[in-house]
Amino acid sequence: MDEPLKNRLTEDSTLSHFEPMSERYKITFAEIGGLEKLKREANLKIIQPFKNPELFKRFKKQAGGGILLYGPPGCGKSYFARAIAGECGATFFNVGIDQILDMYVGNSEKNLKHLFQSARNVKPAILFVDEIDALGRRRDLLRHTNMTSTINAFLAELDGVESDNSDLLIIGATNAPWDVDSAFRRPGRFDRTLFIPPPDEHAREEIFRLLLEGIPSQNLHLSELAKLTPHFSGADLKGVVDRAGEAVIEEILEVEEGRVLLQDDLLKEISDSKPTTMEWFESAKNVVEYANENGIYDELADYLRHHLGSKGSKMGFLR
Protein backbone atom coordinates (compact mmCIF):
# COMPACT_ATOMS: atom_id res chain seq x y z
CA MET A 1 0.00 0.00 0.00
CA ASP A 2 1.32 3.43 -0.89
CA GLU A 3 2.69 5.27 2.15
CA PRO A 4 0.50 8.41 1.73
CA LEU A 5 -2.59 6.23 1.70
CA LYS A 6 -1.88 4.37 4.91
CA ASN A 7 -3.68 5.25 8.09
CA ARG A 8 -1.34 6.04 10.95
CA LEU A 9 -0.99 4.16 14.22
CA THR A 10 -1.09 6.22 17.38
CA GLU A 11 2.17 6.17 19.27
CA ASP A 12 0.57 6.10 22.71
CA SER A 13 -1.78 3.18 22.10
CA THR A 14 -1.87 -0.25 20.55
CA LEU A 15 -5.16 0.66 18.85
CA SER A 16 -5.24 1.97 15.30
CA HIS A 17 -6.02 5.57 14.52
CA PHE A 18 -7.91 6.01 11.25
CA GLU A 19 -7.83 9.11 9.09
CA PRO A 20 -9.30 9.70 5.62
CA MET A 21 -7.08 9.86 2.59
CA SER A 22 -5.80 13.31 1.71
CA GLU A 23 -7.77 15.17 -0.97
CA ARG A 24 -4.65 15.47 -3.12
CA TYR A 25 -4.61 11.70 -3.70
CA LYS A 26 -8.19 11.52 -4.97
CA ILE A 27 -8.79 10.48 -8.56
CA THR A 28 -11.80 9.95 -10.87
CA PHE A 29 -12.68 7.60 -13.70
CA ALA A 30 -11.11 10.09 -16.11
CA GLU A 31 -7.73 8.92 -14.82
CA ILE A 32 -8.46 5.26 -15.50
CA GLY A 33 -7.97 4.18 -19.10
CA GLY A 34 -10.34 1.59 -20.55
CA LEU A 35 -12.66 -0.63 -18.45
CA GLU A 36 -15.68 1.26 -19.83
CA LYS A 37 -18.16 -1.53 -19.09
CA LEU A 38 -16.97 -1.74 -15.49
CA LYS A 39 -17.21 2.04 -15.11
CA ARG A 40 -20.80 2.05 -16.38
CA GLU A 41 -21.77 -0.72 -13.97
CA ALA A 42 -20.11 1.05 -11.03
CA ASN A 43 -21.79 4.31 -12.01
CA LEU A 44 -25.27 2.80 -11.90
CA LYS A 45 -24.87 0.54 -8.87
CA ILE A 46 -22.65 2.69 -6.67
CA ILE A 47 -22.13 6.28 -7.76
CA GLN A 48 -25.58 7.44 -8.84
CA PRO A 49 -27.21 6.60 -5.45
CA PHE A 50 -24.74 9.09 -3.92
CA LYS A 51 -25.35 11.73 -6.59
CA ASN A 52 -29.15 11.34 -6.91
CA PRO A 53 -30.35 10.16 -3.48
CA GLU A 54 -33.94 11.41 -3.92
CA LEU A 55 -34.46 9.40 -7.09
CA PHE A 56 -33.25 6.21 -5.46
CA LYS A 57 -35.23 6.83 -2.25
CA ARG A 58 -38.42 6.83 -4.33
CA PHE A 59 -37.62 3.21 -5.16
CA LYS A 60 -36.62 2.42 -1.57
CA LYS A 61 -32.91 2.36 -2.32
CA GLN A 62 -30.13 4.36 -0.71
CA ALA A 63 -26.43 4.98 -1.11
CA GLY A 64 -24.11 2.71 0.80
CA GLY A 65 -24.03 -0.98 1.58
CA GLY A 66 -21.24 -3.33 0.62
CA ILE A 67 -19.37 -4.05 -2.62
CA LEU A 68 -16.83 -6.83 -3.16
CA LEU A 69 -14.12 -6.17 -5.76
CA TYR A 70 -12.25 -9.26 -6.90
CA GLY A 71 -9.75 -10.19 -9.56
CA PRO A 72 -6.11 -11.12 -10.16
CA PRO A 73 -3.42 -9.45 -8.05
CA GLY A 74 -1.95 -6.21 -9.36
CA CYS A 75 -4.94 -5.18 -11.46
CA GLY A 76 -5.83 -2.00 -9.57
CA LYS A 77 -8.66 -2.88 -7.19
CA SER A 78 -7.58 -0.20 -4.71
CA TYR A 79 -7.05 2.30 -7.55
CA PHE A 80 -10.58 1.64 -8.84
CA ALA A 81 -12.00 2.07 -5.33
CA ARG A 82 -10.25 5.45 -5.05
CA ALA A 83 -11.83 6.49 -8.35
CA ILE A 84 -15.28 5.48 -7.08
CA ALA A 85 -14.76 7.71 -4.04
CA GLY A 86 -13.68 10.57 -6.29
CA GLU A 87 -16.75 10.17 -8.49
CA CYS A 88 -19.05 10.07 -5.45
CA GLY A 89 -17.42 13.05 -3.79
CA ALA A 90 -17.10 10.90 -0.69
CA THR A 91 -14.47 10.83 2.05
CA PHE A 92 -12.20 7.84 1.44
CA PHE A 93 -10.60 5.58 4.05
CA ASN A 94 -7.99 3.13 2.73
CA VAL A 95 -7.51 0.40 5.32
CA GLY A 96 -5.14 -2.56 5.35
CA ILE A 97 -6.19 -5.69 7.18
CA ASP A 98 -3.09 -5.36 9.37
CA GLN A 99 -4.54 -2.14 10.77
CA ILE A 100 -7.64 -3.96 11.98
CA LEU A 101 -6.34 -7.26 13.29
CA ASP A 102 -4.45 -7.12 16.57
CA MET A 103 -2.67 -9.79 18.60
CA TYR A 104 -4.27 -8.63 21.86
CA VAL A 105 -7.71 -10.02 22.67
CA GLY A 106 -10.45 -7.48 22.11
CA ASN A 107 -8.33 -4.91 20.28
CA SER A 108 -9.43 -6.01 16.79
CA GLU A 109 -13.07 -5.44 17.76
CA LYS A 110 -12.19 -2.01 19.18
CA ASN A 111 -10.33 -1.13 15.98
CA LEU A 112 -13.40 -2.02 13.92
CA LYS A 113 -15.69 0.07 16.08
CA HIS A 114 -13.34 3.06 15.86
CA LEU A 115 -12.93 2.65 12.08
CA PHE A 116 -16.66 2.63 11.37
CA GLN A 117 -17.33 5.48 13.76
CA SER A 118 -14.58 7.57 12.13
CA ALA A 119 -16.24 7.03 8.75
CA ARG A 120 -19.77 7.74 10.02
CA ASN A 121 -18.58 11.06 11.42
CA VAL A 122 -17.68 12.33 7.92
CA LYS A 123 -20.42 10.84 5.72
CA PRO A 124 -20.80 10.42 2.83
CA ALA A 125 -17.83 8.11 3.16
CA ILE A 126 -16.29 5.03 1.62
CA LEU A 127 -14.34 2.43 3.58
CA PHE A 128 -11.96 0.38 1.46
CA VAL A 129 -10.70 -2.78 3.19
CA ASP A 130 -8.01 -4.62 1.27
CA GLU A 131 -7.55 -8.40 1.63
CA ILE A 132 -11.03 -8.71 3.09
CA ASP A 133 -10.80 -12.52 2.83
CA ALA A 134 -8.33 -12.45 5.74
CA LEU A 135 -11.13 -11.04 7.88
CA GLY A 136 -14.08 -12.77 6.24
CA ARG A 137 -12.55 -16.15 5.54
CA ARG A 138 -14.90 -19.13 5.39
CA ARG A 139 -15.35 -20.63 8.85
CA ASP A 140 -14.07 -24.04 7.70
CA LEU A 141 -10.79 -22.39 6.62
CA LEU A 142 -10.16 -20.54 9.88
CA ARG A 143 -7.15 -21.65 11.88
CA HIS A 144 -7.83 -19.46 14.90
CA THR A 145 -11.17 -19.75 16.66
CA ASN A 146 -10.68 -16.36 18.33
CA MET A 147 -11.34 -14.78 14.91
CA THR A 148 -15.04 -15.55 15.34
CA SER A 149 -15.65 -12.61 17.65
CA THR A 150 -13.80 -10.27 15.26
CA ILE A 151 -15.88 -11.50 12.31
CA ASN A 152 -19.10 -11.05 14.29
CA ALA A 153 -18.05 -7.53 15.30
CA PHE A 154 -17.35 -6.63 11.67
CA LEU A 155 -20.72 -7.99 10.52
CA ALA A 156 -22.51 -6.06 13.29
CA GLU A 157 -20.84 -2.84 12.14
CA LEU A 158 -21.61 -3.68 8.52
CA ASP A 159 -25.27 -4.24 9.36
CA GLY A 160 -25.44 -0.98 11.31
CA VAL A 161 -27.12 -2.76 14.21
CA GLU A 162 -26.62 0.17 16.58
CA SER A 163 -25.75 2.89 14.04
CA ASP A 164 -26.91 4.57 10.84
CA ASN A 165 -24.95 3.31 7.85
CA SER A 166 -26.75 5.34 5.20
CA ASP A 167 -24.30 7.10 2.86
CA LEU A 168 -21.57 4.76 4.07
CA LEU A 169 -20.20 2.38 1.44
CA ILE A 170 -17.90 -0.46 2.43
CA ILE A 171 -15.74 -1.82 -0.38
CA GLY A 172 -13.86 -5.04 0.22
CA ALA A 173 -11.14 -6.28 -2.13
CA THR A 174 -9.89 -9.83 -2.49
CA ASN A 175 -7.96 -12.07 -4.84
CA ALA A 176 -9.93 -15.08 -3.57
CA PRO A 177 -13.68 -14.31 -3.35
CA TRP A 178 -14.43 -18.02 -3.11
CA ASP A 179 -12.72 -18.04 0.31
CA VAL A 180 -15.03 -15.33 1.68
CA ASP A 181 -17.60 -16.67 4.14
CA SER A 182 -21.18 -16.87 2.89
CA ALA A 183 -22.29 -14.76 5.87
CA PHE A 184 -20.49 -11.82 4.24
CA ARG A 185 -22.52 -12.30 1.04
CA ARG A 186 -25.97 -11.94 2.57
CA PRO A 187 -28.26 -9.14 1.32
CA GLY A 188 -27.21 -5.79 2.75
CA ARG A 189 -23.63 -6.91 3.22
CA PHE A 190 -21.23 -7.75 0.34
CA ASP A 191 -24.06 -8.92 -1.88
CA ARG A 192 -22.81 -6.98 -4.91
CA THR A 193 -19.62 -8.05 -6.65
CA LEU A 194 -17.51 -6.42 -9.37
CA PHE A 195 -14.85 -8.32 -11.28
CA ILE A 196 -11.72 -6.19 -11.87
CA PRO A 197 -10.02 -7.73 -14.92
CA PRO A 198 -6.51 -7.10 -16.21
CA PRO A 199 -6.33 -3.82 -18.14
CA ASP A 200 -7.62 -3.98 -21.71
CA GLU A 201 -5.50 -2.85 -24.66
CA HIS A 202 -6.53 0.80 -24.40
CA ALA A 203 -5.86 0.78 -20.66
CA ARG A 204 -2.45 -0.85 -21.15
CA GLU A 205 -1.45 1.88 -23.58
CA GLU A 206 -2.47 4.51 -21.02
CA ILE A 207 -0.55 2.70 -18.28
CA PHE A 208 2.58 2.56 -20.44
CA ARG A 209 2.20 6.29 -21.15
CA LEU A 210 2.00 7.03 -17.43
CA LEU A 211 4.89 4.73 -16.49
CA LEU A 212 7.20 6.13 -19.19
CA GLU A 213 6.44 9.77 -18.50
CA GLY A 214 9.64 11.61 -17.60
CA ILE A 215 11.95 8.72 -18.59
CA PRO A 216 14.52 9.61 -21.29
CA SER A 217 13.22 7.74 -24.34
CA GLN A 218 12.98 7.89 -28.11
CA ASN A 219 10.72 6.49 -30.85
CA LEU A 220 8.39 4.57 -28.55
CA HIS A 221 5.24 3.02 -30.03
CA LEU A 222 2.92 2.52 -27.08
CA SER A 223 0.15 0.96 -29.14
CA GLU A 224 2.52 -1.85 -30.16
CA LEU A 225 3.55 -2.40 -26.53
CA ALA A 226 -0.09 -2.58 -25.49
CA LYS A 227 -0.94 -5.04 -28.23
CA LEU A 228 1.88 -7.38 -27.20
CA THR A 229 0.91 -7.54 -23.50
CA PRO A 230 -2.52 -9.22 -23.27
CA HIS A 231 -3.49 -10.36 -19.76
CA PHE A 232 -0.63 -8.37 -18.18
CA SER A 233 -1.62 -6.69 -14.94
CA GLY A 234 -0.70 -3.10 -14.18
CA ALA A 235 1.99 -4.45 -11.85
CA ASP A 236 3.33 -6.63 -14.68
CA LEU A 237 3.60 -3.60 -16.97
CA LYS A 238 5.43 -1.65 -14.30
CA GLY A 239 7.86 -4.55 -13.98
CA VAL A 240 8.54 -4.46 -17.73
CA VAL A 241 9.35 -0.73 -17.65
CA ASP A 242 11.44 -1.04 -14.48
CA ARG A 243 13.56 -3.90 -15.83
CA ALA A 244 14.06 -2.20 -19.20
CA GLY A 245 15.20 0.97 -17.44
CA GLU A 246 17.61 -0.98 -15.24
CA ALA A 247 19.13 -2.67 -18.29
CA VAL A 248 19.72 0.71 -19.95
CA ILE A 249 21.32 2.11 -16.77
CA GLU A 250 23.59 -0.94 -16.51
CA GLU A 251 24.68 -0.52 -20.14
CA ILE A 252 25.41 3.19 -19.63
CA LEU A 253 27.57 2.42 -16.58
CA GLU A 254 29.48 -0.29 -18.45
CA VAL A 255 30.27 1.60 -21.66
CA GLU A 256 30.29 5.04 -20.04
CA GLU A 257 28.21 6.39 -22.88
CA GLY A 258 24.77 7.88 -22.46
CA ARG A 259 21.70 6.69 -24.31
CA VAL A 260 17.93 6.67 -23.90
CA LEU A 261 15.28 3.98 -23.54
CA LEU A 262 14.27 2.55 -26.92
CA GLN A 263 11.38 0.45 -28.19
CA ASP A 264 13.64 -2.59 -28.54
CA ASP A 265 14.54 -2.40 -24.83
CA LEU A 266 10.88 -2.71 -23.89
CA LEU A 267 10.16 -5.37 -26.53
CA LYS A 268 12.98 -7.52 -25.14
CA GLU A 269 11.57 -7.32 -21.62
CA ILE A 270 8.08 -8.14 -22.89
CA SER A 271 9.38 -11.20 -24.76
CA ASP A 272 11.09 -12.38 -21.56
CA SER A 273 8.00 -11.84 -19.41
CA LYS A 274 4.76 -13.68 -18.82
CA PRO A 275 1.59 -12.26 -17.30
CA THR A 276 1.33 -13.20 -13.63
CA THR A 277 -2.46 -13.24 -13.91
CA MET A 278 -2.54 -16.60 -15.70
CA GLU A 279 -1.93 -18.64 -12.55
CA TRP A 280 -4.87 -16.86 -10.91
CA PHE A 281 -7.09 -17.53 -13.91
CA GLU A 282 -6.27 -21.24 -13.77
CA SER A 283 -7.56 -21.41 -10.20
CA ALA A 284 -10.52 -19.18 -11.02
CA LYS A 285 -11.50 -21.36 -13.97
CA ASN A 286 -12.08 -24.35 -11.70
CA VAL A 287 -14.20 -22.30 -9.31
CA VAL A 288 -16.32 -20.83 -12.10
CA GLU A 289 -16.86 -24.19 -13.75
CA TYR A 290 -17.93 -26.07 -10.63
CA ALA A 291 -19.05 -23.49 -8.03
CA ASN A 292 -21.01 -20.82 -9.89
CA GLU A 293 -24.50 -22.21 -9.42
CA ASN A 294 -25.82 -18.87 -8.11
CA GLY A 295 -24.21 -16.86 -10.92
CA ILE A 296 -22.03 -14.61 -8.75
CA TYR A 297 -19.03 -15.25 -11.00
CA ASP A 298 -20.82 -14.68 -14.32
CA GLU A 299 -18.64 -11.65 -15.11
CA LEU A 300 -15.53 -13.75 -14.60
CA ALA A 301 -17.01 -16.57 -16.68
CA ASP A 302 -17.71 -14.11 -19.49
CA TYR A 303 -14.11 -12.87 -19.38
CA LEU A 304 -12.74 -16.41 -19.46
CA ARG A 305 -14.95 -17.29 -22.41
CA HIS A 306 -14.14 -14.21 -24.52
CA HIS A 307 -10.50 -13.59 -23.61
CA LEU A 308 -9.04 -16.96 -22.67
CA GLY A 309 -11.11 -19.29 -24.82
CA SER A 310 -12.70 -21.28 -21.98
CA LYS A 311 -15.63 -23.33 -23.15
CA GLY A 312 -18.76 -24.30 -21.30
CA SER A 313 -19.16 -27.58 -19.46
CA LYS A 314 -22.22 -29.78 -19.20
CA MET A 315 -21.20 -30.82 -15.72
CA GLY A 316 -20.17 -27.40 -14.47
CA PHE A 317 -21.43 -23.85 -14.46
CA LEU A 318 -19.17 -22.13 -17.02
CA ARG A 319 -21.72 -20.83 -19.51
- Which residues does 21 contact at the CB level (< 8 Å), separation at least 6? 4, 5, 82, 85, 92, 93, 94
Q: What is the pLDDT of residues 156-182, one digit of tens each?
A: 888 887 788 888 999 999 998 888 888
Distance of CA 85 to the CA centre of its chain: 13
* Banded pLDDT at 69 (limits 50, 70, 90): very high
Mean pLDDT of 130-134: 86
Q: What is the pLDDT of residues 149-158, one digit of tens each?
A: 888 888 888 8
Q: Is 234:74 a contact under the CB 8 Å cutoff? A: yes
- Which residues does 312 contact at the CB level (< 8 Å), separation at least 6? 305, 318, 319
- Give, as one character, the DSSP assignment of residue 32: S
Distance of CA 205 to the CA centre of its chain: 20
What pLDDT does 252 receive? 93
**Dihedral (Cα; 85, 176, 189, 59), 10-degree rounding:** 60
**Dihedral (Cα; 92, 194, 88, 10), 10-degree rounding:** -10
- Quick check: helix, strand or coil at residue 177? helix
> Nearest Cα to 179, choosing from 112, 145, 144, 132?
132
Q: Which domains does the chain have, with CATH numbers?
A: 3-195 (3.40.50.300), 201-271 (1.10.8.60), 277-307 (no CATH)
Q: With 80 as the cut, is the pLDDT of residue 1 above it?
A: no
Q: How crowded is residue 187: how many other Cβ atoms within 10 Å of its Cβ?
A: 8
The mean of the pLDDT values for the chain is: 85
Distance of CA 226 to the CA centre of its chain: 22
